[in-house]
Structure 1
């Protein structure tokens, strides 16, 4: 099973979802072709209603601890309540461009 499928399965099993998008963005980073190391995850669930942003991230990071301890290097998390998702028009910002895998000299 792919890492993307593992992440999707865990999120689907843990949350009652209004919307879920798990996007492998590894190809936009300085990693070998076919890597599953960088993900953008959008989760819309009623469970996030009234929950602080940091607590939302902690809950998702805790759920995906095995993936974060292994192959996953980076998660861009976008957790919303259904109301927040509607207010955003069902959209999130695009992820920023990769800086090439190392510290960039200025």
Structure 2
């Protein structure tokens, strides 16, 4: 399991990304919609497109880690639906795959704030 960077490190990484002029319109749209719709206490978005057979710089495969009080008393399927509803435009317009880790703050603390890495791409069609 990979330990996610702490908040200070994430702030530095986001600042560096902005300073280098890296353009990530889909990732940025995902961030804005999840922040506005779920008011997360923790949010991290991983562009996993590089793990797939897509052109360099693509924004087609994402993993989101969202920790929100709004997930309290909600089953996992409902949490995923909440995220999918917020990102319906992106899912219809270019995002091919979305992995969702949706936890309450208590669950996030119990998990030691870690998430499992995504599996390697098998090339589609069960290869």
Give your verdict on TM over 0.5.
yes
The alpha-carbon deviation at position 103 of structure 1 amounts to: 3.1
Unmatched 5+ stretches in structure 2? 1-23
TM-score relative to the length of structure 1:
0.94
Alpha-carbon contact 1:49-1:81 (below 8 Å) kept: yes
Contact kept? 1:29, 1:101, Cα under 8 Å: no
Q: 1:102 offset after TM fit, Å?
A: 3.5
Contact 1:37 1:71 in 2 (8 A): yes
Unpaired runs of 5+ in structure 1? none
**Alignment of structure 1 residues 44-83 onto 2, 5 Å:** 44-83=67-106
Shift of 1:71: 0.6
Q: TM-score, normalised by structure 2?
A: 0.79
Aligned partner of residue 17 in structure 1, secondary structure: coil
CA RMSD of aligned residues (A): 1.0
Q: 1:9 aligns with which of 32, 35, 60?
A: 32
Question: What is the CA–CA distance in structure 2 between the aligned matches of 1:31 and 1:103, rounded to whole Å?
Answer: 17
Question: Which runs of structure 1 show a deviation greater than 4 angstroms over 4 or more consecutive aligned residues?
Answer: none
CA apart distance, 1:101: 3.5
